[in-house]
Amino acid sequence: MATNQDAEAHLKHALANRYRIEREIGSGGMATVYLARDLRHEREVAVKVLRPELAAALAPERFLREIRIAANLNHPHILPVFDSGEADGFLYYVMPYEEGQSLRQKLAREGELPVGEAVRLLRDVVDALAHAHAKGVVHRDIKPDNVLLSGRHALVTDFGVAKAVSEVTGRDKLTTVGVALGTPAYMAPEQAVADEHIDHRADIYAVGVLGYELLTGRPPFLGTTPQMVLSAHVTQAPEPVTKYREAVPQGLEQLVLKCLEKKAADRWQSAEALLAELEALATPSGGVTPTETTPLARRRPRWKIPAIAAAAVVVAVAAVAITMVRHESVPTLDPERVVVVPLNNRTGDPSLDPIGEMTADWLTEGLLTLTGIIQPVPSEQVLQLLQGQAGGSVAPEGSTQGLARATGAGTVVLGSYYIHGDSLELQAQVLDATDGEVLDSTEPVRGPVQDPGTAIGLLRQRVTSILAARFDPLARTVIPAFERPPSLEALQAHTAGVRAYVDGDFTGAIRELDRALELDPTYVRASVMTISAYSGLGQPAAAESLAVKTLRSPGDLSPYDRLRVEHLLAGLRGDLMAGFRAARAAAGMVPGGTIHYGAIGAAVSVNRPREALEISGSLHVPEGLGGAPLFYYDGIASAHHILDEHREEQLVARRAREDWPGLLPTLAYEVRALAALGDMEELSDRIEECLALRPERGWTPGDVIRIAAGELVVHHGHSEEAQAVLHRAYEWHESQSSAEAQSESGRFDLAQTLYLDGRLDEAEGLFAELAEEFAENVDYLGYLGGIAARRGDREKAHQIDQELRVFEQPYIRGQHTMWRARIASLLGARDEAVALMREALGQGVGYGPTLHADPDFEPLWGYPPYEELMRPKG
């Protein structure tokens, strides 16, 4: 398989006579962009090269003809096309290289724009469209990514590219190569339903979406899947702009909403007409009422869709969504992903119900021997979906279809079991999940009712053989010989333990999983989840001991389970990179499963937030099918935060709050994003909600408020706003009962607030009490060192630094060293601080939003060695 480096080397050779390719500077759904040197004219240019699979599906002559039409556009707000061509299989076009940022980058960094700036940029975009439309060219993909900023002005890029692709490929080819004709968030209703008669008014609609986002910081329609967004464009009314930003003038709001009318005939009928209104709004008088609108107060666009028509729209949207770019859509069902559904009990005896789940678990365990050929969905993920992770579940009567959608599995194994005399009879079928077609089935297998392991073992071997033969006939030669599953009682205990773990009952999980091992000492797989349960209970010594014992056990572990144990053990020992590698390898073996959630967190902990988001993209977390664990949202929200993608972080936080309502951690994710964005109004609302919640899961309202205050200082220097926020924390502290306030956690919470607020004398008194009572807690000693350093008391700070250097506690994993780094930072010893930070990270302290926004490291902000250490590595 060719690598990206191979492709780039091939491209360099193909274009060597005209362009010297220097480096890749961007990529998208249709093309990769390279910075290059135009050898003929001695200038820097941007060379856009179509994706190879797309280029292979196109007719080069027709594509290049469409690009030539766009190249004839000559306008100050249109980025021109210098050149285009085909070279050794590559289709490319060449544009000027603009060093400025895209409008997407500006929005990601700043959020909503000042009204005047938004109007000015919209005017430039519409001016470009008016020129193009007069030439008969429709853009079809207006979005912030395709608007470049040059000084105070906007340049529209990629004119004609979407049309060029659509004109030379049919729907079938589009499905094959995975090309999106337009971007879901900006597509007009007629594009969403694949109307063949799309004209320039689709661009007018996209301008409305763009304007809405410039003014509010968000597009008018959001959804967790492209299909949901497309459906919203067709069936839902956008909220008034002023719901999100009251300061937007009424005339400007009406202009944007008229662009967003569902029917093209109800929108502005030309870019020229729209341009005139924008120019009027941009004049010093400002905010005039558009001449083609009736001055109604803050209305929504008007339309009604009959129920039957709405149903037809949903079908049309579902059809066109197939053409979405893979990374922008819910992945299609993959035939190599296999999900095993618990077998149906047809015996008439409810006491035999557990056999269905146990058989599915053992069949899945057998399929794990085929990783690399197929991708079995781990049985614990199936159980989570059936049981419901966050209040939802897969309905029993729809479990087959629901599990396929939830896991992306294109192949489903299901079956039933019966009683024949003294025998238990099992039979399984293999189905194509896309259409329900039966691909294969096993002959019935039998074994004693009192010992179902005999029949289950036989069924496992036959199902494994069927799937091996289907996907790789040679694999049949390496299928293990018949292997009996563990005893019925051990399987029952294991299933009960997994259920308890899914419910968060770690003590109950350990009890049942230990019982499974007692009943069948060869069943070492039961230990894997027990290790996680011990970690969840805060018992790392027990978890490490069991992990070592499990890896040394003479019993067999599948490669997948072995990697899971290695991941857990590395984390316990502070080797975060080894833990990440093991988790990533395990995640690559099977789709979904708890190891993916662990891999997301592990990627963040080693400062690889982009890889965390890539891993999350392979998961299927549809609404109503159980949602996701809380640490899934923690991982991806943290990844976005580290990358300064705070709008995306806010969307993740909102989804987390939908799946886990009323929890402090999910509220903390949104508070962190809002504070980073400087959205004080909404932040105040969230803090008000926070104050009404009780401490839980190790979080208090004080923790959430301190996060907000720290982010305000880090991102905006909002010292006054930060202090005002901290005073809300004092309100919460004062509302606590005397017993709560005097508890260890109550005093620690207040002491941290005082420390962040600069009330060092009061903070020192509390931390000194805590350090004397709880000498094993390194944080109390560390804060005392931080207070000394903040005061400039070098003698005391150095004394505490030495105490921290020799501080010994099991599983401390570098926390003491990180406190020494904070003290060095506050004392101005920048080189020493960075060296200690690097040492602490190597000992097991993980990267994360808290570390990136730690006010104790403010003296290091902007210091190159520190910035390089904190720069995301992947």
Helix (H, G, I), strand (E, B) or coil at 346: coil
Q: Which two tokens stand for residue 317?
A: 């949207």
- Rounded alpha-carbon distances, angstroms, from residue 543 to 172, 411, 540: 53, 36, 5
CA–CA gap between residue 635 and residue 616 (Å, rounded): 9
DSSP state letter for 413: E
Whether 636 and 612 have beta carbons less than 8 Å apart is answered as yes
DSSP state letter for 27: E
Residue among 128, 452, 76 nearest 278 (CA):
128
Whether 380 and 386 have beta carbons less than 8 Å apart is answered as no
CA–CA gap between residue 593 and residue 582 (Å, rounded): 14
Helix (H, G, I), strand (E, B) or coil at 699: strand
Residue among 205, 220, 296 nearest 251 (CA):
296
Q: Which two tokens stand for residue 356?
A: 């269905």
Q: Which two tokens stand for residue 252?
A: 């400007």
CA–CA gap between residue 156 and residue 144 (Å, rounded): 9
Catalytic residue ranges:
141
CA–CA gap between residue 369 and residue 782 (Å, rounded): 49
Q: How far is CA 223 from the centre of its chain?
A: 13
Any residues with CB less than 8 A from the CB of 138 and at least 6 apart, and which?
A: 132, 163, 198, 199, 200, 202, 203
CA–CA gap between residue 800 and residue 814 (Å, rounded): 16
Residue 872's CB is within 10 A of a number of other CB atoms, namely 17
| Pairing outcome for strands 147-150 and 153-156 | antiparallel
Whether 238 and 257 have beta carbons less than 8 Å apart is answered as yes
CA–CA gap between residue 328 and residue 330 (Å, rounded): 7
Residue 376's CB is within 10 A of a number of other CB atoms, namely 30
Whether 337 and 408 have beta carbons less than 8 Å apart is answered as yes
CA–CA gap between residue 620 and residue 404 (Å, rounded): 10
Whether 604 and 845 have beta carbons less than 8 Å apart is answered as no
DSSP state letter for 41: T
On the 0-12 / 13-18 / 19+ scale of CB atoms within 10 A, 438 is exposed
Supply φ then ψ for residue 35, to 5 degrees. -80, 130
Residue among 572, 565, 630, 627 nearest 597 (CA):
630
Residue among 246, 182, 258 nearest 215 (CA):
246
